[in-house]
Structure 1
Amino acid sequence: MKKHFLVAAALLAVLAIGFGVVLALSSGGSSSGAVNAEPAADAKPVRASSHRLTDPERSELTVVEFLDFECEGCGAMYPVVERLREEYEDRVTFVARYFPMPGHRNSQTAALAVEAAARQGKFEEMYGRLFDTQPQWGEAKESKAALFRGYAEELGLDMRKFDSAVADPGTAERVRTDQRDGLGLGVQGTPTFVVDGAVIPTPGSYDEFSELIENRLAR
């Protein structure tokens, strides 16, 4: 655990870079493979189909992260969110939503792999695997689809169903739905957190994030 937080602390500086990225969404293609999308007119922080990392019986607060699996800032926040999940799992609903960013060659590929795994009930397992291994494949110029497929095999997924889901246009549309909601809510970079419907500045540490949650729960 300590090792994870030392890495997280070192990488949190990357967040400033992440927030400086402007979305280059247009009708043309993108070398990143990111989904082109228009902001949702009825943008929602959470939908019935959204992936919940915690689902308390009586949720007092909802924390949504719009994330890109190739984003170093998201990788830095991953252990922070994991620790918060563990601490507040019976009080706070944590939700993960896809937001592949232009400029990341494998961001869309990763989102498709995770959503394909989710169709077999393995969202959280693939979500964790991609963040745990991000230093091994992030920023690669070549496609890592085969690597992600290997992770799916290691998780024991039905590979015929996995391949079919990755190729299914509906899977890309599922990712696009998250991105459209993010755009409609004003998300411009990753990670972006939405707490009870409002976009917040990304906390710079576990303590800062925990304090924010504690203050919201005390209201």
Structure 2
Amino acid sequence: MSLSNVSVFLLSLLFLTACDFVQDAIQRTLNEHPDIIAKVLNDHPEILEKQMAQIRETESKSDALESEKKLEEQAAQEEMETTKQRSEKKNPLISADRVVFGDRNSKIEIVIYSDFQCPYCARGYKTIKELQKKYGRDLHVVFKHFPIRGHKYAQISALYFEAIAASDSKLAEEFHDMVFENQSELVKRGEDFLTEVTRKIGANVGAVKKMVKSEKGIGQIMNDESEARSFGIRGTPGFVINGHVLLGALPIEEFEALIHKN
């Protein structure tokens, strides 16, 4: 066997064996004859390349695992913080000029963070209607906005609602109901449908369209969305029922459990 082949054999054993005794013996031989290493690496650069590739692969896997671990820890921390946010009793801001469906002094308060184009919000709308029917004057509803970016007509619908609400709260409630009850028309026809609804409820279309372009409505929507996020609400629909957060279009029993919660 040539010196080169012997050297390759020795280096291979050094890299691959798990036996400390064999490794020590080989290491002593290489220490005594360092020229062996130089010759082997010169004649067989693929050995070093292979080992470096393995080292890089190991480091890459280690970095990936470390990164994944950090992401998992971050996600867990964020979930804990969000859960804590939701568990604490909330106090949504309800200004004197905010539209309220029902008697604002009634003992049951439901604040909704919703999106006119969201199908789950339409389902939540039906649940709220059932609750209004059941609890009557003991319940009031505050409709706030959380338009999802992927919903093309969500924000413009919210702007129409606020424009109508600025002059007539009853008409705003009629608009709200009609849009949710005909949500498929909103998706198909967009602002043309909103204009038609505005006309049908008897609101001044010209005045509403002018108001839609003002900054007041945009500011209101942004404030609503910011408040929702501060409560741990990340999607729609979200509800605050007598200060308690509820997420999603859940069964009516879930709403009633919070209504009766102290």
| TM-score, length of structure 2 as denominator length | 0.59
1:179 aligns with 2:179: no
Code of the residue aligned with 2:98 in structure 1: it is S
Aligned to 1:72: 119
Q: Which one has the largest radius of gyration?
A: 2
> Which one of the candidate residues 112, 116, 133 is aligned to 2:159?
112
1:94 aligns with 2:144: no
SS of 2:137 mapped into structure 1: coil
Match of 1:82 in 2: 129
Q: Which moved more, 1:153-162 or 1:46-55?
A: 46-55
In structure 2, the partner of 1:166 is 212
Aligned-partner Cα distance in 2 for 1:203–1:75? 9
TM-score normalized with structure 1 length: 0.70
Distance 1:77 1:101, change over 3 A: same
Query: Structure 1 residues 199, 212: closer, same or farther in 2, change over 3 A?
Result: closer
* Aligned alpha-carbon RMSD (Å): 2.1
Relative contact order (C-alpha < 8 Å, sep 6+): which is higher? Answer: 1
Task: Choose the corresponding residue for 1:123, options 161, 172, 180.
Answer: 172
Q: In structure 1, what residue type is equivalent to 2:112?
A: E
Please tell me whether the aligned partners of residues 120 and 236 of structure 2 are also in contact (alpha carbons under 8 angstroms): yes
Give, in angstroms, the shift of residue 211 of structure 1: 4.0
Give the alignment of 1:177-216 within 5 angstroms: 177-202=223-248, 204-213=250-259, 215-216=260-261
3-state SS, counterpart of residue 121 of structure 2: helix
Structure 1 unaligned segments of length 5 or more: list them: 1-42
Contact 1:46 1:64 in 2 (8 A): no
Give the match for residue 50 of structure 1: 98
Higher deviation after alignment, 183-192 or 200-209? 200-209
How many residues are matched? 170
Asked if 2 retains the 8 angstrom alpha-carbon contact of 1:68 and 1:191, the reply is yes
Decide which structure has greater helix share: 2
Return the alpha-carbon distance in structure 1 between the equivalents of residues 258 and 248 of structure 2: 11
